Amino acid sequence: MLPDRGRKGRESRIFGRTTPFGGRGSRVPGRGGPLARLSRRGRLIGTRTAWTTVCDGEFFCPGCGGDRNYQRRTGRRRFVFLGVPLLSRGETGPVVECAACQDHFGLEALDHPTTVRLSTMLRDAVHTVVLAVLTTGGSAARTALDAAVTTLRGAGFDDCTEERLAALIDALAADTGRLNDPECAPGLAIELHEALGPLAPHLAPAGREALLLQGARIALADGPYTPAERDVLATAGCALTIDPDDVARLLVAATRTPR
C-alpha cells in the first residue's frame, strides 16, 4: 500500500507510524505522552528541602558499614512552583548525613561508637577487669601475673610486663588502699560499671561472656576462687548485663577449661 503524501510529496505517516522527515503530525518517542507531562509537572510543582549543617564529625555509618564523616543537618521544607520556593511546609530533621553514601539516618546512629572508639573501649574494659581481679588478692602470685600479662598483651597492651603490672598494682594499693580491703568494694564496682556499662550494648553475648571468662581465668591462675574474686567477677558480669545464673555457669565452666 502506498503511503500518504504530505506537502511537497514528503512521506508523513504510514498507518500511525512516525515519518523519517518529521512532517506535520510526527512524534518524537517519549515526548508529549502522559508520563512526559507528569515529569514536566513534577519539575514545576513540588516540595524542596533546604538543609543547614549544624555540626559534623565521624560516626559508624550503617549504610557503608564503616567509619565515615557525617554532617548533622536540619531542614526547612518549602512548596515550589516554577522552581521558585513559595510557602513554608515546616521543618524536617534533624538527620545525620553520611559524607560518603549521602544517606540520611536518625540521631540514634551517633550512639554507635566508631570502630576506633569501640577498640579503645574494649581495651579499657579488659584492663579494668584484669586490675579488678588482681587487686582482690591475686597480684602477689606469679602465675596470676603471667595470666594477666598474657591477657593484656592480647588486648593490645604490647609493652605490658610482669614488673610494670606489679608496680601498677602496688601503686593502686598505696593510693587507694583497696587491696584486700572490703570497704573499697563499692568504688571498685563503680569503676567496673563505668568501664563495662557503655561497652556492653555493643558486644554480642559471646563477646561479653569472653570478657568475663578472661577475668575468671586470671583469678583461677593461682588456685580456686576466693570469695572476693567471686564478688568482683559477679560485679563485672552485672556490668556486662549477663544474667546472674549465666555468670555462675561461666565461672564453673572456667574451672573446667585447661589453662
Q: Which of 85, 111, 137 finishes a domain?
A: 111
Total number of domains in the chain: 2
Q: Can you read off the three cell numbers belonging to residue 86?
A: 513559595
Of 92, 111, 130, the last residue of a domain is 111
Q: Are residue 107 and residue 124 in the same domain, yes or no? A: no
In a domain, 9, yes or no: no
Confidence at 137, pLDDT banded by 50, 70, 90 = low
**Which pLDDT belongs to residue 5?**
44
Q: Are residues 60 and 147 in the same domain?
A: no
Instruction: Indicate whether 240 belongs to any domain.
Output: yes
Do 105 and 124 reside in the same domain of the chain? no
Same domain, 211 and 126: yes
Q: Could you tell me if 151 and 157 are in contact, meaning their C-beta atoms sit under 8 angstroms apart?
A: no
Q: Tell me, yes or no, whether 193 lies in a domain.
A: yes
Of these ranges, 79-83, 136-140, 251-255, the one predicted with the greatest mean pLDDT is: 251-255
Q: Which of 73-87, 117-131, 148-162 has the lowest mean pLDDT?
A: 73-87
125 with 235, same domain: the answer is: yes
Output 170 or 64, whichever has higher pLDDT.
Answer: 64
- The reply to whether 7 falls in a domain is no
Side-chain-side CA neighbours of residue 118 (13 Å)? 16
In this structure, the answer to whether residues 50 and 162 fall within a common structural domain is no
Write out the residue range of the structural domain in which residue 198 sits. 115-256
Whether residues 129 and 106 fall in one domain: no
Closest CA to 239 of 186, 190, 197: 197
Any domain includes 6: no
Sign of CA dihedral 229, 234, 235, 239: positive
